[in-house]
Chains A and B, each alone.
Chain A
């Protein structure tokens, strides 16, 4: 078990373009390490899923990828997160600029208290969008597979939509700014199965033009949507009170679920724990 710890794992990095690269990343809240020594190369233009039991730090790693953890007091990152030849945690890097290029969809649908149209246009406008806004709004909503439900009520509040529609509106909001990467933090956990299915279809559409990284609790979802899957686990630290997460294995989704290299992965995907 400990041998997998701190071992760089990458899924055939030679074959594909690397979009983001984590190099010995350790994230801690105050004194407690949440996740330790993560190495991984996230491929470009693919869907990568992070799976693992609760508390294994998969969401923490995801939020580290666009510096969303900056909002949490006391959260610190050691190591390097390389994106577009920049270390995102270089003190010279502007987190606002990072988030403009790495968009995010959150666990709970969080449309702004504005109209549906404005929910989309807002992000585009602050990103200095120079094109036709109406067209962008329509294109984004179409890409997120929510245009048909919204086209007649663009001037209504985004909060008037159902939960699943709100989440797809949030996806539309994220893709409207044309980010290179979209991070999704358990985007379906608050949704019913039908909305979940729709969002998964949306993801299939989106992966042609974006790199998608998704955290999910649902292993079937990982199998359905992801090209690559990373399995995180947590183990108790000697002498410490909490658990520290680490990356166990990162490979093609098929390999992870059918022929994992680690016993822990095997146990988890076959439902023996977690």
Chain B
């Protein structure tokens, strides 16, 4: 047997003449094998190109922004154009404030809407319309939500005769967060096994109690993950804030006045011809990216906690 092994293999079936039959041994010079090698290389190359920008952006943000990070960065105001030094304290505070306003609006509305879709709607025409509208809203460009809030809040001086305000910026961001929150709530609730609801109804719980005590808590993980990611995304948004929250070189003066945010600061200072401002833009990028990555890690951590 062993000696036969090395002999070329005879093809035993007569009807095989119409097919290419080859020895079983791998032949790298075969066209199909060379093509395989080529495509594998190309896919690997594409994957490397896809991750390259991440490294390049991160390296620059870490080096250019990280070297400027000091306590002063968080306690001082940006300098007037032409002067050196200063910090981005007001913008850090502003980003937190505006994002918090957005979250305070979008989370209750979004979770409530998601509860309706998943628990009450029985997927009738209205629910289908709302999910469809939600998909459309998710596709609306972020700048449009800025235009919208400018139209209904800023230009009408809706809040105490104030035009640009932190509140307006928060509303604009909440419009962007809303579809994500609704979608994650709806999908998170759908994953809750039906038996759990039946169990609660079985002991005589009302629908309200079932949802708030049983269904919602068991869908906490996916909802929390989605909400954290939505907040992280909103914190980095700029377009809806440019003409709603505007900018301010001063410390925040309440929610009904214009406010500085890191993202608008980066935009404004990046296109200024002063080096001090450009550097502050890098510093703000560093802080913003770190905050967003921290939120992403938090989201991952939440979803991992649930699996244990």
Contact = CB atoms under 8 A, between A and B. Distances in A.
Direct contact of A and B (CB under 8 A): yes
Contacts of B194: none
Contact of A180 (B7, B12, B25, B32): B12
Given A127-B19, A178-B18, A85 B13 contact: no
Given A85-B7, A86-B5, A178 B24 contact: no
A127 B21 CA distance: 8
A82 interface: yes
A81 to B, nearest CB: 11
Contact of A94 (B16, B18, B25): B25
Contacts of A131: 18
B27 interface: yes
A128 B20 contact: yes
B162 to A, nearest CB: 59
Contact of B18 (A84, A98, A129): A129
- Provide the main secondary structure of the chain A interface: loop
Contacts of B20: 127-128
Given A97-B22, A129-B19, A178-B18, A84 B9 contact: yes
Contact of B26 (A82, A87, A92, A100): A92
B25 A93 contact: yes
A105 interface: no
A63 interface: no
Interface in A75-91: 82-88, 90
User: Chain A: interface residue count, which band?
Assistant: 20 to 34
A178 B5 contact: no
Nearest to A97: B24
User: Chain B: interface residue count, which band?
Assistant: 20 to 34
Contacts of B1: 82
B9 A86 contact: yes
B109 to A, nearest CB: 41
Contacts of A85: 4-5, 7, 9
Contacts of A209: 13, 15
A93 B24 contact: yes
B32 to A, nearest CB: 8
Given A85-B4, A85-B7, A177 B19 contact: yes
A128 B19 CA distance: 5
Contact of B24 (A94, A124, A127, A129): A94
A15 interface: no
Interface in A82-127: 82-88, 90, 92-94, 96-98, 100-101, 124, 127
A31 interface: no
Contacts of A127: 19-20
Given A93-B24, A98-B24, A101-B21, A180 B4 contact: no
A49 to B, nearest CB: 22
B18 A92 contact: no
A222 to B, nearest CB: 26
Contacts of B16: 178, 180
A88 B24 CA distance: 8
B86 to A, nearest CB: 55
Contacts of B18: 129-131, 136, 178
Nearest to A124: B19
A38 B19 CA distance: 33
A97 B15 CA distance: 17
Interface in A124-161: 124, 127-131, 136
Interface in B196-214: none
Nearest to A98: B24
A105 B9 CA distance: 25
A96 B26 CA distance: 9
Contacts of A177: 19
B40 to A, nearest CB: 14
Contacts of A82: 1, 5
A130 B20 CA distance: 8
Interface string A206-236: 0001000000000000000000000000000
B12 A84 contact: yes
- Name the residue in B10, B13, B19, B23 with the highest tally of chain A Cβ atoms < 10 Å from its Cβ: B19
A197 to B, nearest CB: 27
B279 to A, nearest CB: 49
- Name the residue in B1, B10, B18, B22 with the highest tally of chain A Cβ atoms < 10 Å from its Cβ: B18
A98 B24 CA distance: 6
Contacts of B25: 86, 90, 92-94, 97
A87 B19 contact: no
A148 to B, nearest CB: 23
Given A85-B4, A124-B19, 9 more contacts: A84-B24, A86-B5, A86-B23, A92-B26, A94-B25, A97-B23, A97-B26, A178-B15, A178-B18
Interface of A: 82-88, 90, 92-94, 96-98, 100-101, 124, 127-131, 136, 177-178, 180, 209
17 contacts: A82-B5, A85-B4, A85-B7, A86-B9, A86-B25, A88-B24, A93-B25, A93-B26, A94-B25, A94-B33, A97-B25, A129-B19, A130-B19, A136-B18, A177-B19, A178-B19, A180-B12
Considering the complex of A and B, which 9 residue pairs feature the smallest CB-CB distances, nearest first? A128-B20, A94-B26, A131-B18, A84-B9, A92-B25, A86-B24, A85-B4, A93-B24, A127-B19
